[in-house]
Structure 1
Amino acid sequence: MARQLDEQIAGRFPVGRRLRLLDVGMGQGTQALRLARAGHQVTGLEQDAAMLAAARAALDAEPEGIRKRVQLVEADARDTGAHFPPGSFDVVLCHGVLMYVADPDALLAGLARVMASGGLLSLLVRNGDALAMRPGLAGDWAQALTAFGTDVYTNRLGLQVRADRLDALTATLAGIGAPLAAWYGVRVFTDTAPDDAVPPEDPERLLAAEERAGRTDPYRRVAALLHLCGVRG
C-alpha cells in the first residue's frame, strides 16, 4: 500500500515539495516515520496511550532532523477540528480507523475540513463486499454464509467491528468535497496467511502479484482491504 500512496503523492504534487501530512490513528507511527524520512512535515494523531508510547520510542531513535519533522498528538480521530484549523494539511491518512467508528461520515467530513484545496485523502478500510472470502477460503462455510449481507465482522484481535463498501464510500467522499480519484485492493492473495507466516523466498514476486491484483478487476473487488484516494476540490 505504501507504493500506492507514494504513486498518488508523486502524481499530484511537485517533486521535492515538502508536504504537510496528518496521519490519523497512526498506531506505532510506521507510516508517519516513513513519510518524515522522505522529507515531509508529519503530524501523527493517536488516542491509544500504548501505541503513542511506541511511536514516541520509535521517533526518539531517529536522527534529529527527522524528529523535528514529526509532531505527535494524543487525540481522538473524530476531534481533528478541535486541534487543527481548516486547510492545515496537504495529505491526510486515515488507515485502519473507520472500522472502529460506528458512523464514519462525521469523521470523514472533519478530515476533509482540515485538507487544503487539492489535498489528498488516503483511506484504508475493510472491504464489506468481500467479508465471506476469508472464512470461505478457510472452509468455514457457516461463517461464510453469515458474512453475506452484513457489514459486521470479528477481526484478528477478537473485536467486533464494521466494514465499508466501495459504492457507499464513493458517495460519501463526493458529499464531503473530496471525490474518489483512485482505488486499490490490498491483501488480495495474502489475507489468509497467519500473522507468524514465514516470508517467502522470493518476496518481490509476491509483492508484484499483490500490486498487480490490487489494480486489476475483478481481483481488487475481492481484496480484504480497500485503499481509496480522494482529492479535495
Structure 2
Amino acid sequence: MARQLDEQIAGRFRVGRRLRVLDVGMGQGTQALRLARAGHEVTGLEQDARMIAAARDALAAEPEGIRQRVRLIEGDGRDTGVHFLPGSFDVVLCHGVLMYVEEPDPLVAGLARMLASGGLLSLLVRNADALAMRPGLNGDWAGALAAFDSTAYRNRLGLDVRADRLDALTATLAGIGAPLHAWYGVRVFTDTAPDGTPPPPDTAALLDAEERAGRTDPYRGVAALLHLCGVRG
C-alpha cells in the first residue's frame, strides 16, 4: 500500500514539495511517520488512546527534525470539521477506518472537504465483493456461501464490522467532488496468513508479487482490501 500511495503522490505533486498530510485513524502512526520521514508535514488523528500512546512513543524515537513535522491529535475522524478548516490538506489518508463506521458516506464527505483543490484522498477499505474468499480458501463453505450476499463480517479481533463495494464507493467519491482516480487491491495472496506469521526469507519477491497483483485484473478484484484514490476537483 505504501508503494501505491507513493505512486499516486509522485504522479500528482512536484518532486520535493512539502505536502500537508492528514492521517485519519492513524493507528500507531506507521504511514504518518513514513511520510514525515519523506519531508511532509503530517497531522495524525486517532480516537484510541492506546494507539495515540504507541504513536507518541514511536515519534519520540525519531530525530528532532521529523518530530517537528508531526502533530498528533486525539479525536474522532467524523469531527474533522471541528479540528480543521476546509481545504487545509494536500493529502488525506483514511486507512482501515470505514469498516468500523455504520454510515461511511458522511465521513468520506467530511474528509474530502479537508482537501485543497487537486488534493489526494486515500481510502483503504475491506472489499465486500471478495468477502467469500477468506472463508472459502479456509474451507469454511457455509461462511463462504453466507458472504456472497452480505457486507457484514467478523474481523480477526472478533468484532462485527462491515465492508464496502467498489461501485458504491466510486459513486460516493463522484458525488462529493473527489472522483476515483485509481484503485488497487491489497492482500491478494497473503490474506489467509495467520496473524503473527513471520515474514518469509523472500519478502521482497512477495511484495513484488502483491504489488503486481494489486494493479492487475482480475487479481485485484478479489483482494481482501481495496485502496481507492480520489482527487478533489
Class of the TM-score when normalised by the shorter of the 2 chains: over 0.9
Q: Per-residue CA shift, 1:98-121, capped at 9, x if unaligned?
A: 000000110011111110000000
- 1:110 and 2:110 matched: yes
- 1:134 aligns with 134
CA root-mean-square deviation: 0.5
- 1:15 and 2:27 matched: no
User: Any residues of structure 2 matched to 1:1-233 within 5 Å, and which?
Assistant: 1-233=1-233
SS of 2:35's partner is helix
Query: Separation in 1 of the partners of 2:178 and 2:157?
Result: 32
Structure 1 residue 203 displacement after superposition: 1.0
- Counterpart of 1:176, as a letter, is I
SS of 1:149's partner is coil
Pick which of 204-213 and 163-172 moved more.
Answer: 204-213
SS of 1:229's partner is strand
Structure 1 residue 132 displacement after superposition: 0.3
Query: Separation in 2 of the partners of 1:208 and 1:62?
Result: 28
- Counterpart of 2:28, as a letter, is Q
Structure 1 residue 198 displacement after superposition: 2.9
Structure 1 residue 49 displacement after superposition: 0.4
Q: Per-residue CA shift, 1:63-89, capped at 9, x if unaligned?
A: 110000000011100000011001000
Query: Separation in 2 of the partners of 1:140 and 1:5?
Result: 34
Query: Separation in 1 of the partners of 2:208 and 2:36?
Result: 25
Query: Separation in 2 of the partners of 1:199 and 1:80?
Result: 36
SS of 1:81's partner is helix
Pick which of 201-210 and 223-232 moved more.
Answer: 201-210
> What residue ranges of structure 2 are gaps of 5+ in the alignment?
none
Structure 1 residue 193 displacement after superposition: 0.5
Query: Separation in 1 of the partners of 2:98 and 2:198?
Result: 29
Structure 1 residue 34 displacement after superposition: 0.4
Query: Separation in 2 of the partners of 1:160 and 1:232?
Result: 32
Query: Separation in 1 of the partners of 2:107 and 2:198?
Result: 37
TM-score by length of 2: 0.99
Query: Separation in 1 of the partners of 2:115 and 2:199?
Result: 38
Query: Separation in 1 of the partners of 2:214 and 2:195?
Result: 20
Structure 1 residue 131 displacement after superposition: 0.3
SS of 1:18's partner is coil
Query: Separation in 2 of the partners of 1:109 and 1:210?
Result: 30
Query: Separation in 2 of the partners of 1:69 and 1:62?
Result: 11
Aligned-pair identity in percent equals 83
SS of 2:139's partner is coil
> What residue ranges of structure 1 are gaps of 5+ in the alignment?
none
SS of 1:170's partner is helix
TM-score by length of 1: 0.99
